[in-house]
Amino acid sequence: MNVEELNRLPVAWRPDPAAFAATPLGRMAARHGLTTVDEVAQRAAADPEWFWAAAADDVGLRWLRPYDKVLDLSDGPQFPHWFSGGGLNWADYAVDRWVEQGAGGDEAIVWEGDDGATRTITYAELKERIDRAAGAFAARGVGVGDVVALYLPMIPEAVVVMLAAAKIGAIVAPFFSGFGPTPVRERLLDSRATLMVTADGFERRGKLVPLKETADEAAADAPDLRTVLVVRRLGRDLALVPGRDEWWDEAMSAATPIADTPVFDAETPCILLYSSGSTGRPKGCLHTHSGLPFKFAQEARHGFGMDRGERLMWVTDMGWVMGAYVVTASLTNGGTAVLYEGTPDHPTPDRLWSVVERHRVTALGVSPTLIRVLAGLGDRWPDAHDLPDLRVICSTGEPWNLEPWWWCFRHVGKSRLPIVNMSGGTECGASIVSGSVHRPIKPAGFSAPSLGMAADVFDAEGNSIRGQVGELVVRAPWPGMTKGLWDGPERYLSTYWSRYPGTWQQGDFAYVDADGHWFLLGRSDDTIMLAGKRVGPAEIESLLVDDPAVIEAAAVGVPDPLKGEALVCFVVLKEDADPAEVLPRLEESIVAREGKATRPKAVHAVAALPKTRNGKVMRRVARAAYIGADLGDTTALESTEPLADFPRLHRD
């Protein structure tokens, strides 16, 4: 979409003003004498320390030792100290407190496997398993600051591992369950993990994923790794490595539970998340007990109304940031985490909608790419499901195109549910801009900066701008931001803090329209320079997917001897589309709207685009494959199969 199109977008959904008072944010506002979301946002902007303290109280962070100061900036905005002096424990405020408050019988986790198997775990059962796992980890030498690698599919044991590590002050490092041995080995070496939890395997589309064999190959060269615990997901008869491997269930049965909750400083690290690598070498982002888990719970609570009894499901993997989001946003708010292990269209194209309906999901998280794929399967699949319990659709990962957004709104949301679009990142531990169930929503956009986030749009000189495309920045720190990258401060500072002194640069193009609605137009480092004009790839991709024959698209800039850079597009077409007819039409559509200077060097039909497991198109990899350059880090790819037959640039 270009700026002119953004300015013409209507409001697609409006909240009922009378509903605000009964929501979690409305109740918090009332306690502070405020009556609207705008009043909360204004006070948060004027007094951020008030907001974060009030939010922590509203979310229910249980301070096992009171904090002395909300925010200490003595080391600069790059390294803020939140809730100085305070002591708490992620496992305590996510699970333990609910059991102590009499909610132990409430459902904490509902799980469905690729094969249709289901399990339900209450808060009391989850606490007992966390306590046992914490005892098992401690008995194997895991202590404060040690790293526990989590290499599991979306199964309940993944939640247990995450919070058991946190309970004893260890750091959990989730790995994508689709990784091969090389990326797992790299992360084991980088994190220096001493214990890993994996599984004997799992099924994806009915086919075996031999997780244990992959883990074995990766672990062979990891000198710090002392213990591997293996979950019997499929009951396969596998040989264990003597002196290193143990069955998870046997280790849990023999463990002495740690029932008492250790108290850790608010800034004690608890989770190490590796970025997807969509912009280069993956970054290990370190987060704390009072950081990412709190911020995730807060924005879910205040942005889309996550409350007691809500059931949150996100189509993701535990190795991505949204895996941690599901855990902390649901449990910290006293809700239910609905975990789905399988794919959204197997064995039938309506699998996702049937899972959502069967498990009474109230908040569903998706990516725009996922919706584009499911829309290509036809309207009748979501139309066959009423989804009566679904209250809100959430999305993140990349910019929307209009056609799939409207398709989701009409066919999944039945033209009545808000699509709360969020954008942040692994390193942010938060959303920077977000939709909201409390504000009007425009297609593909964001209602405002997320509450408490000092988001802005800067031009090249660092001036705040509106009505123009610029860089998305944040002018003040927030609790969820990474404490730094695992490989040291230099890369952290150069990546986020070097362009605008004292200001976080996210690396996205942003635009704010006259009504105050925000839009993201793609990564600024994906910018294509055409005839001296900066063109965001999302602008071209939106035009391409508007064509009824196109399912999804990617646009990249490639070297050109005459122009310096030329536009190349890759499209996935519907099965009945004729490339000979469609591709020239797409080329002319680009020229008609953007001008002759943007005529593509080529438009290629491809079977699939290189994407991460959470649906993010990796333009960098597509470009590198096309021009024959080094692909760089590809460990986050769901599959390398799209690259095997990917078109190549023919050099004159």
pLDDT in tens, 484-539: 888 778 888 988 999 999 999 998 889 999 999 999 987 777 778 775 566 778 87
Query: Cα separation of 268 and 88, whole Å?
Result: 9
Sign of CA dihedral 314, 336, 172, 180: negative
Q: Does position 241 have pLDDT exceeding 50, yes or no?
A: yes
527-644 is a CATH 3.30.300.30 domain: yes
Residue 281: the pLDDT is: 58
Closest to 263 (Cα-Cα) out of 126, 81, 66, 82: 66
**HSE-up of residue 292 (Cα within 13 Å, Cβ side):** 30
pLDDT tens digits along 48-71 = 999 999 999 999 999 999 999 999
Q: Are both 3-96+266-522 and 103-259 of the same fold?
A: yes
> Does an H or E element contain 196, and which?
strand 195-199
CA distance 126 to 132: 10
Q: Could you give the residue ranges of the DSSP H alpha helices within 408-559?
A: 489-496, 537-545
* Contact status, residue 301 vs residue 331, Cβ threshold 8 Å: no
- Is 114 exposed, middle or buried, given 0-12, 13-18 or 19+ CB atoms closer than 10 A? buried
The β-bridge partners of 564 are 560
| Of 615, 632, 522, the residue nearest 320 (C-alpha) | 615
The alpha carbon of residue 150 and the mean position of all alpha carbons in its chain are separated, in whole angstroms, by 17
Q: Which helix (H) or strand (E) holds 395?
A: strand 392-395
pLDDT at 565: 81
Contact 238, 200 (CB under 8 A): yes
Report the DSSP beta bridge partners of residue 433.
Answer: 423, 449
Residue ranges per domain, the chain?
3-96+266-522, 103-259, 527-644
| CA proximity to 129, closest of 175, 167, 170, 93 | 167
Contact (CB, 8 A) for 510 and 434: no
- Dump the DSSP string for 463-498: -B-SSS-EEEEESS--TTS-S-BTT-HHHHHHHHTS
Q: What percent of the chain has pLDDT over 90?
A: 79
| C-beta of residue 292 within 8 angstroms of C-beta of residue 324 | yes
- 3-state DSSP assignment of residue 126: helix
Q: What angle do CA 433, 421, 391 make, to 5 degrees?
A: 130
- pLDDT tens-digit map of 588-613: 998 887 777 789 999 999 999 998 87
Cα-based angle 96, 98, 104 (whole degrees, multiple of 5): 95
Give me the CATH topology for the region 103-259: Rossmann fold (3.40.50)
pLDDT tens for each residue of 264-287:
999 999 999 997 543 445 689 999
Amino acid at 538: A
SS3 552: strand
Q: What is the pTM of this model?
A: 0.86
| φ, ψ of residue 409 in degrees (nearest 5) | -60, -45
Q: Which fold has domain 3-96+266-522?
A: Rossmann fold (3.40.50)
Q: Which helix or strand (DSSP H or E) is residue 45 part of?
A: helix 37-46
